[in-house]
Amino acid sequence: MSPVRASCIAGLGHYAPERRVENTEIESQLGLETGWIERRTGIRARRWAAEGELLTDLAAPAGAAAVSDANISRGDIALTILATSTPDHLLPPSAPLLAHHLGLSNSGAIDLAGACSGFIYALTLADGFVRTQCKPVLVVAANILSRRINPAERASAVLFADAAGAVVLVPSDDTEMGLLGVDLASDGSHYDLISIPSGGSKQPFDPGMAASEALMTMRDGQEMFLQAVNGMTHCAKRALAAAGLNSADISRFVPHQANARIFDVVGEDVGIEPGRIVHTIAEYGNSSAATIPLSLSLSRQASPFVSGEKLLLAAAGAGLIGGALVWGI
């Protein structure tokens, strides 16, 4: 078996829970004036999972849609990568259950915990597998962050949402398609800017601990904003350079939907005007790793991709980890 020269996106899919939560509900709980959230984040509403709805319940319909869209047999999928920060359980991983639900009988399966940048990392790893093994890969990014929100903490309570997005990669010999340039980065000196304090080996769950210890906290929202802008900008510029392209070559910039102000600033710094930036944050909020594949699927619905398009994807988040890649359609 000889390695192929490229991978390509053969299928896309997404899923968002039915419950739509408008800003007024959260603004009322936090004592904020009407319109405060949208002015500062660009979010008008977000989707939250129903009681009893699991992470794999979100991931499965997104994955099924992507496999169906790719028009390949489920038995052809050789690897399933699930990018999530909110698995069904800490142990075992959720990806094997997802593959089982989808009937992917010949697929390996693994969770990838990359926070908001998880899809960028998963797509990069999936591309390498497709190139070397010449077999299709399903990448799903999904999160249920509504259950990790501290309703009393304004910085995080206004942002986070639940959703799933998925892509299927297949082998290709067209070197103008697939991963053209990538840049990945991390900075552990800002490790605790966003965290869930308990549940790991440092602070295991304890029956006597405060409920807030199991919820997300954002230590410094303004610093997180600055780090996200800097990280996404630098990675995007380096990914473009690695691809031998410039900002004028990009047809769509699909950023992680963390905050509309973040990706508007990144777009300006990279040289991409607002008309080429894909926005889904207004209706879907910030579902961490899921926002980019969700946005890819929604963007294609609104305006189908054309052969030869070049996409720029970028993200940054907890860890801190970030990355950007250029993808050819």
Catalytic residue positions, numbered: 116, 256, 286
Cα(162)–Cα(50) distance, integer angstroms: 10
Write down the H helix ranges in 55-189.
Answer: 55-70, 95-102, 118-133, 154-157
Closest by Cα among 315, 310, 217, 309 to 257: 315
Cα(301)–Cα(306) distance, integer angstroms: 12
Other CB atoms within a 10 A radius of the CB of residue 327 amount to: 26
**169 Cβ contact list (under 8 Å, min separation 6):** 7, 8, 9, 10, 123, 126, 127, 130, 136, 137, 139, 178
**How is residue 286 written in tokens?**
């910030």
Cα(292)–Cα(313) distance, integer angstroms: 7
Cα(194)–Cα(154) distance, integer angstroms: 13
Cα(102)–Cα(60) distance, integer angstroms: 7
**239 Cβ contact list (under 8 Å, min separation 6):** 181, 182, 183, 312, 314, 323, 324, 325, 326
**313 Cβ contact list (under 8 Å, min separation 6):** 119, 120, 123, 254, 255, 292, 324, 325, 326, 327
Block residue for tokens 């619905």: 301
Cα(263)–Cα(277) distance, integer angstroms: 8
